[in-house]
């Protein structure tokens, strides 16, 4: 006898004795009632949270009405960080199993304690897990510690040098074509700050407690590549993870320091808590050196993006309207929230410096007004002009305190969008 509670959908309202509840129970079955649902996906996800709060951990989705999209929305709301539970699908089990496997890996990386997940451990875990999927098609290289400085990756080295555990640039090359000279269809760049204290621009305790999640961009692009490979990705993709701990010590980078990047740009440090853009700059330069036709970066970059779009969306920045429309269409196709925010050429000059080409932020709390656009403008100095465009994702919705739709922790929002963009490249 199965231990899984059966979950069915109904377009009828719940019987009156259940009050305003959208869920009713009978025997070993729970029914989600969608009669009054303005958004069926949101209603199903909210119901999954309610069922989780009642202690349910093993369910079977049964009957008509369970489209793949609705099943996925249920999965997004179901389970807790330490108890994800199990789901038996109504249909499309192979596809949904692959999606959930990728999402749970993303979440496990993001939820790992910062002591357990050092920059090297993050790079090793991603390299090992992805190489295991297609060992004949994947090569990896890691540049660690002071070797970064020798190689010219001053952003990752500068941010990570304050920690006893060295920073790392992971380059992973997935090439299923059999042609060593095949073009790089897409380069993925992920922010992998495994813990962010803010450095000398120290965060308050309340703002630091969740900063193990600051490698969410790296986890998102790595999990998306994993899922795309499982779904038959046939083009060459390079993955760059920019991994570091942003800590305070006698070796840490300081306000007033100037970093000289490989592309000739000099950057004055006016806020050590604006570190994500510094490591991403190296990854963007590397992606351009690889000749990538399209570059996608993902990062838990700014609080300003969270203020702008909340936790229901990620923020999109793109200099090309056509490329932006492709990203928005990809998100819409997979049912993920993505909202475009402004990025104009003048945003590159919003962080002026008297001592360098640019500062890494405006020297005010939160980077000042328009902080998310200003951060994207900073990155535009390093993004180059790949022929199929540059897409910057500020992952505002990728980690939440817990609400009526998501449990506390990583949401995996953005995973399916990046996967779709890879498969459509």
CA dist., res. 370 & res. 344, Å (int): 12
CA dist., res. 379 & res. 281, Å (int): 6
User: Quick check: 78 and 51 in contact, CB under 8 A?
Assistant: yes
CA dist., res. 109 & res. 105, Å (int): 6
User: Quick check: 419 and 333 in contact, CB under 8 A?
Assistant: no
Spatial CA neighbour of 155 closest among 278, 32, 270, 273: 278
Spatial CA neighbour of 293 closest among 176, 173, 172, 184: 184
The DSSP output letter for 142 is: E
* List 161, 165, 212, 277, catalytic entry: 277
CA dist., res. 418 & res. 397, Å (int): 14
Q: Is the sign of the CA dihedral 284, 288, 292, 294 positive or negative? A: positive
The count of residues in the chain is 425
Angle at alpha carbon of residue 280, lines to 279 and 284, rounded to 5°:
130
Q: What is the largest CA-CA distance in the chain?
A: 72
CA dist., res. 213 & res. 105, Å (int): 14
Tell me the β-bridge partners of 266. Answer: 260
* Type and span of the H or E element at 417: helix 415-424
Task: Assess whether 277 carries a catalytic annotation.
Answer: yes
Helices of type H across 112-192: 119-133, 146-151, 154-160
* List 40, 57, 129, 203, catalytic entry: 203
Task: Assess whether 388 carries a catalytic annotation.
Answer: no
CA dist., res. 16 & res. 7, Å (int): 20
Residues with active-site annotation: 203, 277
């Amino acid at each position: 006898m199965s231990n899984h509670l059966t979950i069915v959908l109904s377009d009828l309202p719940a019987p009156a004795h259940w009050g305003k509840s959208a869920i009713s129970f009978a025997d070993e079955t729970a029914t989600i009632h969608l009669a009054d649902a303005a958004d069926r996906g949101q209603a199903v996800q909210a119901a999954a949270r309610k069922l989780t709060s009642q202690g349910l951990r093993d369910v079977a989705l049964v009957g008509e009405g369970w489209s793949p999209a609705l099943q996925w929305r249920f999965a997004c709301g179901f389970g807790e960080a330490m108890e994800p539970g199990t789901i038996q699908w109504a249909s499309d089990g192979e596809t949904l199993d692959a999606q959930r496997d990728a999402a749970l890996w993303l979440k496990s990386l993001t939820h790992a304690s910062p002591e357990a997940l050092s920059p090297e451990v993050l790079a090793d875990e991603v390299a090992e897990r992805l190489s295991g999927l297609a060992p004949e098609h994947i090569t990896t290289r890691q540049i660690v510690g002071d070797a970064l400085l020798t190689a010219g990756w001053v952003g990752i080295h500068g941010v990570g040098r304050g920690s006893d555990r060295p920073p790392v640039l992971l380059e992973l090359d997935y090439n299923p074509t059999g042609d060593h000279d095949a073009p790089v269809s897409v380069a993925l760049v992920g922010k992998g700050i495994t813990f962010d204290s803010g450095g000398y621009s120290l965060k308050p305790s309340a703002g630091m407690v969740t900063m193990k999640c600051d490698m969410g961009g790296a986890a998102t692009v790595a999990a998306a590549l994993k899922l795309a490979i499982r779904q038959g990705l046939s083009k060459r993709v390079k993955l760059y993870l920019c991994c570091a701990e942003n800590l305070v010590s006698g070796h840490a980078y300081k306000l007033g320091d100037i970093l000289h990047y490989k592309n000739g740009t000099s950057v004055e440090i006016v806020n050590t808590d604006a570190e994500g853009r510094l490591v991403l700059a190296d990854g963007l330069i590397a992606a351009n050196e690889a000749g990538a036709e399209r570059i996608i970066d993902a990062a838990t970059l700014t609080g300003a993006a969270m203020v702008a779009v909340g936790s229901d969306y990620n923020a999109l920045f793109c200099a090309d309207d056509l490329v932006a429309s492709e990203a928005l269409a990809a998100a819409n196709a997979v049912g993920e929230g993505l909202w475009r925010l402004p990025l104009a050429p003048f945003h590159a000059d919003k962080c002026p410096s008297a001592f360098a080409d640019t500062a890494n932020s405006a020297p005010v709390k939160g980077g000042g007004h328009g902080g998310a656009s200003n951060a994207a403008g900073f990155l535009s100095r390093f993004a180059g002009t790949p022929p199929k465009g540059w897409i910057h994702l500020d992952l505002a919705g990728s980690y939440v305190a817990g609400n009526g739709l998501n449990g506390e922790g990583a949401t995996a929002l953005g995973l399916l969008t990046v996967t779709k963009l890879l498969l459509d490249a």
